Structure 1
Amino acid sequence: MPETVKSHLRYMCFLCCWTAAAIALSAGAQADGISSYGTPGLIDMPSATATRDGTLSWTTSLLPDHTRNSLHFQITPRLSGVFRYSILRGYDQNEDRFDRSFDVHYLMREESAQFPALAIGLRDFGGTGLFASEYLVASKHFLDSRLTVSGGIGWGRLGSFGRFSNPLGVIDDRFDTRPGPIRDINETGRVSFNHFFRGDAALFGGIEYQASERLRLAVEYSSDAYTEEVKRMGFEHRTPLNFGLDYRATKNLTFKAFVIGGAQAGFGLTYVIDPRAPQFPGGIERNTPALMPQADIVALGWKAGDIDSSRSRLSRALKVQGLDLESYAESDTTARVVLANPTYPNIAEALGRAARVMANTLPAALSTFEITLAVEGMPTSSSTFRRADLHTLETAWDGSWQSFVRADIADAPTRLAPDAGSYPRLNWALTPYYSTEFFDPDNPLRIDFGAQASLHYTLAPGVSLTAVVRQKAFGTLDQSTRLSDSVLPHVRSDAALYDKFSGPRISILTADYLFRPASALYGRLSAGYFEAMFAGVSGELLWYPQGSRLALGAELNYLGQRDPESRLGLTDYRVASGHLSAYYDFGQGYRGEIDAGRYLAKDWGATISFDREFDNGFRVGAFFTLTDVSFDDFGEGSFDKGIRLSIPISWLSGEPGRGALSQTVRPIQRDGGARVEIANRLYEQVRGTNESEMQNQWGKFWR
Structure 2
Amino acid sequence: MKYRLVASLTFLSGLHASNLYAQTEDYVDSNLYSQTVFGGTGLIQTPTSRMAPEGSISLNYSDNDQYRFWSVSLQLFPWMESTVRYTDVRNLLYSQSEAFSGDQTWKDKGIDVKFRLLEENYWLPEFSVGFKDIGGTGVFSSEYLTLSKRWGDFDLHLGLGFGYLGQNDNAVNPFCQLADRFCTRPIGFSGVGGKVEFDKFFSGQAAWFGGLEYQSPWRPLRFSVEYDPNHYQNDRAPDLTQDSRWNIAANYRWKGFDFALRFERGNTVTFGFSYQTNFNTLTTPKVKPLPKEVNRYNEIASFDEVDENTLLLELNNNAGFPVRSTQFYSDTYAIFGTQLDYRDPDESIERIGRVLASQLPDNVKKYQVVELAGAVPLITTEIDAGKFKQAAGGETFAFTLNDTYERKGVDDGLSHRYSPAYRSGLGGSVETFFIQTFGNPEAFYLYQAGVLIQGFTR
TM-score band, normalised by shorter chain: 0.7 to 0.9
Residues 152 and 336 of structure 1: CA distance in aligned 2, closer, same or farther (over 3 Å): same
Which whole-Å deviations, capped at 9, do the CAs of 1:569-598 have from their partners, x for residues lacking one? Answer: xxxxxxxxxxxxxxxxxxxxxxxxxxxxxx
- CA distance in 2 between counterparts of 1:324 and 1:423 reads 20
Cα distance in 2 for partners of 1:38, 1:75 equals 15
* Counterpart among 296, 318, 323 of residue 294 in structure 1: 296
AA partner of residue 155 (structure 1):
F
Q: Which amino acid aligns with 2:355?
A: V
Structure 2: which amino acid aligns with 1:206? G
Gap change, CA 1:100 and 1:254, over 3 Å in 2? same
Q: Kindly state the Cα deviation for residue 188 of structure 1 after the two structures are TM-superposed.
A: 0.2
> How far off is 1:77 after superposition?
1.5
What is residue 439 of structure 2 aligned with on the other side? Answer: 439
SS in 2 for 1:83: strand
Q: Is the 8 A contact 1:28 1:213 kept in 2?
A: no
Tell me which amino acid in the other structure corresponds to 1:293. Answer: N
Query: Is 1:319 equivalent to 2:316 in the alignment?
Result: yes
Q: Which runs of 5+ in 2 are unaligned?
A: 1-22, 395-399
Partner of 1:235 in structure 2? 240
Shift, 1:394, TM fit: 9.0
Measure, in 1, the Cα distance between the counterparts of 2:390 and 2:224.
59
Matched, 1:134 2:143: yes
Residue 176 of structure 1 pairs with residue 178 of structure 2: no
Cα deviation per residue 1:482-520 (whole Å; 9 max; x = unaligned)?
Answer: xxxxxxxxxxxxxxxxx7xxxxx652425499xxxxxxx
1:637-694 deviation line (CA, Å, top 9, x unaligned) = xxxxxxxxxxxxxxxxxxxxxxxxxxxxxxxxxxxxxxxxxxxxxxxxxxxxxxxxxx
1:272 aligns to what?
276
Number of residue pairs the alignment of both structures matches: 413
Give the Cα–Cα distance (whole angstroms) in 1 for the partners of residues 393 and 220 of structure 2.
44
Match of 2:286 among 283, 295, 309: 283
Q: Give the distance between the partners of 2:300 and 2:328, measured in 1 at CA.
A: 17
In structure 2, the residue matched to 1:259 is 263
Tell me how far apart the structure 2 counterparts of residues 512 and 88 of structure 1 sit (CA, whole Å): 56
Deviation at 1:444, TM superposition (A): 3.2
8 Å CA contact 2:331–2:366 kept in 1: the answer is yes
Q: Which of the numbers 337, 356, 360 marks the counterpart of 2:335?
A: 337
Pick closer, same or farther for the CA change 1:287–1:507 going to 2, 3 Å: same
Which residue identity is paired with 1:272? Q
* Stretch moving more, 193-202 or 259-268: 259-268
Partner of 2:306: 309
Indicate yes or no: 2:157 matched with 1:150. Answer: yes
Question: Given residue 176 of structure 2, which amino acid in structure 1 is its aligned partner?
Answer: G
CA distance in 1 between counterparts of 2:404 and 2:232 reads 64
- Structure 2: distance between partners of 1:141 and 1:60: 28
Q: What's the offset of the Cα at 1:346? A: 3.9
Distance apart, 1:150 and its partner CA:
1.2
Paired residue type of 1:101 = G
1:382 Cα shift?
Answer: 3.6
- Normalised to the residue count of structure 1, the TM-score between the two structures is 0.53
What is the rounded CA distance, in whole Å, between the counterparts of 1:413 and 1:506 in structure 2?
41
Match of 2:224 among 195, 203, 218: 218
Letter in 2 for 1:255: F
Query: 2:204 matched to 1:199?
Result: yes
Letter in 1 for 2:207: A
Q: Which letter maps to 2:179? A: D
Counterpart Cα distance in 1 of 2:77 and 2:370: 36
Q: Pick from 95, 106, 111: which aligns with 2:120?
A: 111
Q: Quick one: higher RCO (CA 8 Å, sep 6+), 1 or 2? A: 2
Q: Partners in 2 of 1:412 and 1:248 — Cα distance? A: 59
**Conserved 8 A contact 1:165-1:176:** no
User: CA, structure 1 residues 174+338, in 2 after alignment: closer, same or farther (shift >3 Å)?
Assistant: same
- Match for residue 122 of structure 1? 131
Deviations 1:409-451 (A, max 9, x none): 445597442343697697989x99855333324433335xxxx
- The letter of the residue matching 1:164 is A
Label 1:120 to 1:382 Cα distance change in 2 as closer, same or farther (>3 A): farther
Distance 1:266 1:203 in 2: 24
Task: Check if 1:98 corresponds to 2:107.
Answer: yes
Q: Shift of residue 108 of structure 1?
A: 0.7
Query: Do 1:291 and 1:391's aligned partners in 2 also have CA atoms closer than 8 Å?
Result: no
Equivalent residue number for residue 82 of structure 2: 81
* Structure 1 CA distance for aligned equivalents of residues 403 and 205 of structure 2: 60
- The answer for the alignment partner of 1:624 in structure 2 is none
Question: Partner amino acid for 2:90?
Answer: R
Residue 364 (structure 2) pairs with residue 359 (structure 1): no
**Cα pair 2:74 2:83 within 8 Å, conserved:** yes
The offset of 1:357, in angstroms, is: 2.1
The code of the aligned residue for 2:168 comes to F
Which residue is 2:174 aligned to? 167
User: How far apart are the structure 2 equivalents of 1:225 and 1:124?
Assistant: 18
Backbone CA RMSD of aligned residues: 3.5
Q: Percent identity?
A: 23
Shift of 1:365: 4.3
Q: Secondary structure at the match of 1:187?
A: coil
Once residues 381 and 227 of structure 1 are traced to their aligned partners in structure 2, the CA distance between those partners, rounded to angstroms, is: 68
3-state SS of paired residue (1:440)? coil
What is the TM-score with the length of structure 2 in the denominator?
0.78
SS of 1:129's equivalent in the other structure is coil
How far, CA to CA, are the matches of 2:122 and 2:261 in structure 1?
Answer: 32
SS at match of 1:268: strand
User: C-alpha distance in 2, partners of 1:376/1:33?
Assistant: 49
Q: Which runs of 5+ in 1 are unaligned?
A: 1-22, 396-401, 448-476, 478-498, 500-504, 514-703
Q: Distance in 2 between matches of 1:436 and 1:223?
A: 37
The C-alpha deviation readout for 1:47-87, integer Å capped at 9, x for no partner, is 11211112222111111231111111111121121111111
SS at match of 1:131: coil
Q: Which amino acid aligns with 1:315?
A: L
Check 1:80–1:339 CA distance in 2 against 1; reply closer, same or farther (3 A cut): same
Distance 2:406 2:59 in 1: 44
> Would the alpha carbon gap of residues 420 and 271 (structure 1) be closer, same or farther in structure 2, given more than 3 Å must change?
same
Q: AA paired with 1:174?
A: R
Could you tell me how far apart the structure 2 residues matched to 1:425 and 1:512 are?
5
Q: How does 1:500-519 map to 2 (within 5 A)?
A: 507-509=452-454, 511=456
What is the distance in 1 between the residues matched to 2:108 and 2:403?
Answer: 53
Preserved contact between residue 292 and residue 355 of structure 2 (Cα < 8 Å): no
- Partners of 2:39 and 2:76 in 1: how far apart? 14
Contact 2:244–2:266 (8 Å) recurs in 1: yes
Higher CA-based Rg: 2
Counterpart of 1:246 in structure 2 is: 251
Q: Which amino acid in 1 is paired with 2:200?
A: H
Taking structure 1 as reference, are residues 191 and 291 closer, same or farther at Cα in structure 2, changes over 3 Å only?
same
CA distance in 2, matches of 1:365, 1:352: 20
